[in-house]
Amino acid sequence: MPWIGHALEGLLGGRRFAWALLGAAVAIVPGLWMWAFTVDDALIAVRYARNLSHGLGWRFNAHGPSTDGVTSLAWPLLLVPLARGDSLVTLERAKALGLVVWGLTGAGLGVAVGSVRPVRWPLKTAILLSLALSVPVAAYAISGMETPMATALATGAALWVRRSRRAIWLAGLTALFRPEMAVWASVLAVSLALRRRRDSSALWAAAIALGPAVACSLLRACVWGRPVPLAVLAKPGALGQGLVYVASACVVSLVPVVVLAPAALWRDSSASAIVVAALAHGVTVAILGGDWMPFARLVVPVVPSLAYASVLVARRAHAGLMALRVALVVAFSATMMARGVLRSARHVGRDRAELVARARPWLAGTSSVAALDIGWVGAATDADIVDLAGLTDPDVAALPGGHTSKRVGTMFLLGRRADAMVFYLPSGLPDGSLDRWAEAQTSRVVEARLMRDPVLARHYVAVAWLPLGALGAGYVLLRNRSPSD
């Protein structure tokens, strides 16, 4: 059916425009489908940006110390012009910004894919379709996080692999948004330099690629006394967990499966440079232990570049095997969607907005709230927040334990004058009784420890149940007892 290819290439005035339109659609349509998705950490960056816009400086609590509670130093700065208003409104603007950036990135990727010869258009379209079905890419394009910015820079670097200098500069800039991408950038830069058989330029290429990451580290060391983000201290990595994270990420993001053609990769220096850099990134993420967020967020920035590498590989790979791999990932994605795996994820943003609205009256008048999920709490109140995970609090981050198991005690909270706290109960209250909140099950160690602490029971009383979604989960809100109690 060659007439379909001619129609695609002639659409709206030219082949390049047609591929740009297809690439933009591959990015925007799935993003709109996942529009209601977000993660709690997106609201952490929003709170930093709002404090910056109000002239309060780089801090999470308006009356607290300056802390680097956002891993990306650049992202809160980009949000400042959007942060005049309610936290949830700012989040919607951040999501829209992410979708626009990813849509433009998709358009550029589409043009680059369309220009690869002699790969036929059906296979190129199928590879772009596998990217469209990659739920992690779509989810984090509109999550309100910094991921689309890192993805755009990484994709741009991959598309310019034949123009090594531009690719190296773009690759280095990814570390402004995701610090762990510095390894990816340096490996890509060295691979491009060695491809030209100029060993002496490899060190310069690596230095250029690492420049932005080094600048961020120096800034952190000067301002906060640490060259690495506070999250590294708050969330110590576990290699075993990281390996599982990366392995599952390769499956759920779909595209890495498509590019698995070792013999063809060996014969294509551009594609192999992209894939080797992606492998280095996977090793980095594994060493860091991954993270707690769904849909493999840390791997997303390199996925579109692997789609481009897949098209480059298709010039030398067996067309039938390439088509088979694409068919397998499409079938896997369709199966997951048919089983309703994504149903709850597509309502996270709506559920969290309703939670914030319910919590605001109950948190009115509080001066300090202790919480593990500080994003939505920070959107519900302007009170200071005691961060039980330590992502924004160096004192908590330095305590023993992992991200959800910091050894925070009741006396610590009383010392911080926390007059309210919230605990997440995934299965709800026992028999729906607020009085039995301490008997409820929770999967997070720091919350379980505090809930069973008799000292806490003497000082705090449950005053409200705040449901999250329609599956029975929610948060119990405790307030400090008055002297008369």
Pairing of strands 460-467, 420-425: unpaired
Q: What is the pLDDT of residue 337?
A: 64
Q: Tell me, what amino acid is at 444?
A: R
Q: What is the pLDDT of residue 5?
A: 46
What tokens does 60 get? Answer: 């999470």
pTM, rounded to two decimals: 0.91
DSSP 8-state symbol, 413: H
The SS3 assignment for 453 reads: coil
Determine the Cα–Cα distance for residues 369 and 392; give it in Å rounded to an integer: 14
Nearest Cα residue to 404 out of 262, 320, 248, 292: 292
Q: What is the pLDDT of residue 7?
A: 42
Helix axes 15-33, 87-114, angle to 10 degrees: 150
Domain boundaries, the chain: 2-342, 347-480
Which residues are paired to 477 by β-bridges?
422, 464
Taking only the tens place, the pLDDT of each residue in 313-336 is: 988 877 777 778 888 877 877 776
Determine the Cα–Cα distance for residues 19 and 308; give it in Å rounded to an integer: 13
Nearest Cα residue to 248 out of 207, 287, 295: 295
Q: What is the pLDDT of residue 44?
A: 96
DSSP 8-state symbol, 431: G
Pairing of strands 368-371, 384-387: parallel
The distance from CA 90 to its chain's CA centroid, rounded to whole angstroms, is: 17
Q: What is the pLDDT of residue 261?
A: 79
Query: Tokens 């720091």 correspond to what residue?
Result: 446
DSSP 8-state symbol, 357: H
Q: Which residues of the chain have pLDDT under 50?
A: 1-13, 483-485
Q: Tell me, what amino acid is at 24?
A: A
Taking only the tens place, the pLDDT of each residue in 428-476 is: 999 889 999 999 988 899 999 999 999 999 999 999 999 998 888 999 9
Query: Tokens 């806490």 correspond to what residue?
Result: 456
DSSP 8-state symbol, 482: P
210, 298, 311, 468 from 306: Cα distances, Å: 22, 15, 9, 37
Q: CA neighbours within 13 Å on the CB side: how many for 12?
A: 7
Number of H helices, E strands in the chain: 24, 5
